[in-house]
Every structure is written in structure tokens, then in C-alpha cells.
Amino acid sequence: MTTTAAPAPHARNKENHRSALLQELLIPVLAVVTGLILGAIVILASGENPLRAYGALFAGSFGAPGDLIEGIQSYAATGETRLLLRAIYPITESLVTATPYIFAGLSVALGFRCGLFNIGAEGQFFIGALCSAFAGYSLTGLPMILHLPLAILAGALGGAVWGMIPGYLKARFGAHEVVNTIMMNWIAFRLSDWLLNGPMKSSGFRPVTPNVLASAEMPRFFPDPLRFNLSFFLALLAAYLVYWFLFKTTLGFEIRSVGANPDAAKYAGMNIIRNFVLVMFLAVGLAGLAGSAQVLGVDHWVGQGFSAGYGFDAIAIALLGKSHPAGVVLAALLFGLLRSGATDMQSIARIPIDIISIIQGMVIIFIAAPDIIRWLYRIRTKKAEDTVLTRGWGK
């Protein structure tokens, strides 16, 4: 019995990595598949045809393959892009929907990695959007190269400062972040109600902000009505940066240590409080960016009910993505596809949009209780430490 696999430890590492990766992916994928199957049963029980429903869902999220072929042929024959653009409209809309999901999902995942449960992404999303909108319409006369980054930064910083409040309360008084961030949500909602009806109200009748200036809009890659824009790539960049930060830097090592075992982190000389505050700052900054992406890339103004649950879905996305940036991107894409396709499913197949919520709900249950999936598919349990999502009350 000797010690190490001497010949090629790094190859061994890769091999380990690969099997670990498969193991990691197995449960989420099966959870999604099972969610779709159970969704089909629900559709069937309500007297509709699940195949027709999922067909419409697919066409609404990816686009109809027939349309795509037709579009390419028409473009090749005449140079006319109208049909082609119509064919790729669904998939671009899915990516547009996925964008704030990626940012907000990264926000919650980053918190999870440090053992913090940030339920406040919804409110932080609002604050980020309002700050970006304000920077977007109030700063005039700037070229885009300055105005757009400033507007994005406003959203990130606005969110981050908002996030320092629960971070500080936890660090200073040991107040649990779950309670604090929920409360901060309500403050954010009411604050935005007031802002939209008062200081930030546009000249029109409705309680909405003025439109951001063109110089603060995220550049779009296709003509209207396609809304696909730069923010999607910024979201991917953010995911990469979060990955690099968490896994390749000493700061990320500290954050993961604090999340995995705060006692050992303290023993190793890490400052727990400083990590909590840092993570809250960064995580809430990301949630703020979700709001910026939505206002600068898609809507160009903020109104009541602007967020539409992105912040809460973000918790589900972080769970589904196992708090890993790559997992978060995949989960956010899935949610984007489902959400965006659901609209078509409702209009074409007349299946209520709520079926998507049912499917999402079931997927989350399976992720939260993976033993159900292991039992359903007879997967042998490989004893692994589950990711710690949040620590108990108090310190």
C-alpha cells in the first residue's frame, strides 16, 4: 500500500475531474428531464396534448427548424434577411431572457459559496436597474464609450452599496442575512414605487422613468424587433470572471473556505467578517448588473413590476447550477428558453404559461431533494459532501 499515483498525477487529476463533472451533471439533467415528463403528465391531465405543447415550447424557445431552413434559402437566393431574422427571433429572445438570469444567478451562487443565503436579489435587481436608468437618462452629452460603462457601473455600484447594508448588519450585529435581505426587498420595492411616482417619474402619465439616452443603450446586433444585445456577452464574461475569482485566486479560496468550514477558515487565519462583507458587495453588485442589463439592453426604462421575479428565480438557478458559474450559465439558459418559449406555448398551443412554473418548481424540488432522483433512476449514492448553502442563525 503506497501513496500516490506516481506516473501521471495531472492526468489522474483530469480523469478525476471528468468523472466528477459527469457525477455533478447527472442529477440536474435528470431533474430537468423528470420535470418535463411530469409537466407532460400535468398537461395530459388537463386534457391537452403534451406533444403539441412541447412542440410549441420548442418553436418558441429555439425557433422552428422549418423557418430556419426557409430563412437561409431566402437569404441565399435573394440576400433578403427578413425571413432569416424571423427564424432566429425565438432563440435570440431566449438569450435575452437568460441574460439577467445569468447575472442574478451568479449573484446568489457567489453568496452560497461563502455560506451566505442572499434572498434579496429581487430588490437588488430593482436598485441596480433604477441606478442604471438614472445614469442613463440624467447624464447628457456623453459619448457612448463613456456613458454606457458609467450607466453599467451605476447599476453595479448601486446594487453593491445596497448589499453592504445587510452585509454590515451581519458582520456588526450578527443579524442573519436571510431576514435582512428579505426585508431589504420590501424596502427596495417601496422605494422604487416612490421614485417612479416622484423624483424619477417621466413627464408622461404612467409611473415609469424616462427612457435612457441612446448613448447608454447596450448595442444591439440585429435590427428591430430583435433585442439581442451586448449584455449577453457581458454576462458570459461575468461568469468567467466569477469562476476565475472563486477557483483561481486566494480571495476565492478564502471565500470557499469560509463557506465550506468557517471554523477551519478562522483557524487558518482568514477573516470571516471581511469575507462576508466582500462577498455581499460583489454578489449584490452582480444582482445590480442583472437590473442594468435588463434596463440598458432591453427595456430602456424602468416601471413598476419591472423585475418580474428574476431575483427569486435566481435562487433556483444557483441551486440548479450547483453554485458553479458554468452551471449557473447552463441553468440560466434553460430558464431563458423555458420562459421565452412559454409565451408561444400559450398563444399557439393554448397551454397556460403557468405550466412552466410547475415544471420549474418540480425541477427545484428534485435538485433540493436529490434522493428522489437517485431513487427514481436507481443511482448508487456516492457519498459526497453536499454544498453548504447557508449556515445556521446568528454568527
Partner 1 sequence: MTNVLELRGITKRFPGVLANDQISIALREGKILALLGENGAGKSTLMNILYGLYQPDEGEIIVRGQKVDIHGPNDAIAQGIGMVHQHFMLVPVMTVTENVMLGIEPTRNRVFLDKEKVAKRIREISDQYGLEVDPQAYIKDLPVGIQQRVEIIKVLYRQADILILDEPTAVLTPQEVEGLFKIIDTLIKSGKSIIFITHKLKEVLAVADDITVLRLGKVVGSIDPKEATSEILATMMVGRDVNLVVQKENAKPAGPVLVVENLYVRDERQHMTVQGVSFEVRQGEVLGLAGVQGNGQTELVYALTGLLPIDAGSIHLLGESIRHAPPRKILERGVAHIPEDRQRHGLILSFPIHDNMMLCTYYQPPFARGIALQPAPIFSNAEELVKQYDVRTPNIYVNAGTLSGGNQQKVIVAREFSRPIKLLVASQPTRGLDVGSIEYIHKQIIKKRDEGCGVLVVSSELDEILALSDRIAVIYKGQIMAIVDANTATKEQLGLLMAGVHLSETSNKN
Give the nearest distance from C-beta 385 to partner 1 in angstroms: 4
253 binds partner 1 (CB under 8 A): yes
Number of amino acids touching partner 1 (CB under 8 A): 33
- Name which of 264 and 369 has its Cβ closer to partner 1: 264
Query: Residue 79 class from Cβ within 10 Å (0-12 exposed, 13-18 middle, 19+ buried)?
Result: exposed
DSSP label at residue 245: H
Residues 6 or more apart whose Cβ sits within 8 Å of residue 233: none
Give the nearest distance from C-beta 26 to partner 1 in angstroms: 16
3 binds partner 1 (CB under 8 A): yes
Reduced to 3 states (helix: H, G, I; strand: E, B; else coil), residue 242 is helix
- Name which of 202 and 387 has its Cβ closer to partner 1: 387
Using the rule CB under 8 A, give the single segment among 116-124, 215-223, 251-259, 348-356 that binds partner 1. Answer: 251-259
23 binds partner 1 (CB under 8 A): no
Give the nearest distance from C-beta 254 to partner 1 in angstroms: 8
Reduced to 3 states (helix: H, G, I; strand: E, B; else coil), residue 101 is helix
- Name which of 18 and 206 has its Cβ closer to partner 1: 18
Q: What angle do CA 374, 40, 314 make, to 5 degrees?
A: 65
153 binds partner 1 (CB under 8 A): no
Which position among 248, 308, 350, 393 is part of the footprint of partner 1 (CB under 8 A)? 248
Reduced to 3 states (helix: H, G, I; strand: E, B; else coil), residue 61 is helix
269 binds partner 1 (CB under 8 A): yes
* CA 111 remoteness from chain centre: 13
Count of residues in the chain: 395
Report yes or no: 332 and 98 within 8 Å, Cβ to Cβ: yes
Using the rule CB under 8 A, give the single segment among 1-9, 78-86, 154-162, 355-363 that binds partner 1. Answer: 1-9
Please state, in angstroms and as integers, the Cα–Cα distance from residue 144 to each residue in 139, 213, 217, 285, 376, following that order.
Answer: 11, 9, 8, 22, 54
Give the nearest distance from C-beta 10 to partner 1 in angstroms: 7
Give the nearest distance from C-beta 145 to partner 1 in angstroms: 29
